[in-house]
Chains A and B, each alone.
Chain A
Amino acid sequence: GAVVSQHPSWVICKSGTSVKIECRSLDFQATTMFWYRQFPKQSLMLMATSNEGSKATYEQGVEKDKFLINHASLTLSTLTVTSAHPEDSSFYICSARDGGAGGRETQYFGPGTRLLVL
């Protein structure tokens, strides 16, 4: 199956600093990637849709100036949490859309990034 990597797998930072998370599709090209946030024992919450070469589409309630997304190539999207605060601590997961043949598309997920803001 298709492989998506995420880096780093975990990060601890001080309040007020910025953190960048990378999401890469390793064996396929993805014009669209998605960024999710997941709280303990809850489902995935979509934050934004990242489109290669254009601006990301943010879900309602997600601050675009707080969570900067860049999708500069067909295999890389980055999420930058700017001026992180303790309430930003969470598990962040990306996925990449694989178009597939005949419209049979799916999403493959990265392993996630655990962020802890002190």
Chain B
Amino acid sequence: GQQLNQSPQSMFIQEGEDVSMNCTSSSIFNTWLWYKQDPGEGPVLLIALYKAGELTSNGRLTAQFGITRKDSFLNISASIPSDVGIYFCAGQLMGNAGNNRKLIWGLGTSLAVNP
């Protein structure tokens, strides 16, 4: 099935550093969602974006909906050990109508933080 290009695949950083990850696609999206998944758990919604150019923050997290509607990034500032996990981007394609509003997923960014 269709997937988003998410990068980097993995990151290993020192506590206190900033982190940036992004997702791109050749298709146009009307919604971008960023999730974090801990081992053995379901994904938890971090930030939802609905408008081209929209910049939204959630504590130390900031995400933006790209102007072209084909990309999004997530930044984490001043990382802490509990930021460890896998971060997924997900998007809803423009034009998906009705009840079949399935999400297209990135492959995830695995983040490790060294205390």
- Chain A 64-97 interface mask (CB, 8 Å, partner B; 1/0): 0000000000000000000000000001010101
Whether A1 contacts B99 in the complex (CB less than 8 A), given A43-B108, A103-B50, comes out as no
Q: Are A106 and B45 in contact (CB under 8 A)?
A: yes
What's the Cα separation between A43 and B108 when bound, in Å?
6
- Interface residue? B52 (CB, 8 A): no
- Interface residue? A8 (CB, 8 A): no
Contact partners of B90 in chain A: CB under 8 A: 107
Whether A109 contacts B102 in the complex (CB less than 8 A), given A43-B3, A46-B1, A59-B1, comes out as no
Q: Are B40 and A109 in contact (CB under 8 A)?
A: no
Contact partners of B100 in chain A: CB under 8 A: 32, 49, 57
Question: Per DSSP, are chain A's interface residues mostly helix, strand or loop, or mixed?
Answer: strand
A97 CB contact (under 8 Å) in B101, B107, B108? B101
Q: How many residues of A contact B (CB 8 A)?
A: 31
Closest to A31 in B: B99
Q: Are A109 and B105 in contact (CB under 8 A)?
A: no
A-B contact pairs, 25 of them (CB 8 A): A6-B42, A31-B99, A42-B107, A43-B3, A43-B88, A43-B105, A43-B107, A43-B108, A44-B105, A46-B1, A46-B103, A49-B99, A49-B100, A59-B1, A91-B40, A95-B42, A105-B31, A105-B92, A105-B101, A106-B33, A108-B45, A109-B42, A109-B43, A110-B42, A114-B40
Please list the 6 inter-chain residue pairs (A to B) with the smallest Cβ-Cβ separation, ordered nearest first: A109-B42, A112-B42, A111-B42, A32-B99, A109-B43, A43-B107
A-side interface residues toward B, CB under 8 Å? 1, 4, 6, 31-32, 34, 42-46, 49, 51, 57, 59-60, 91, 93, 95, 97, 103-112, 114
B-side interface residues toward A, CB under 8 Å? 1, 3, 31, 33, 35, 40-45, 48, 50, 88, 90, 92, 99-103, 105-108
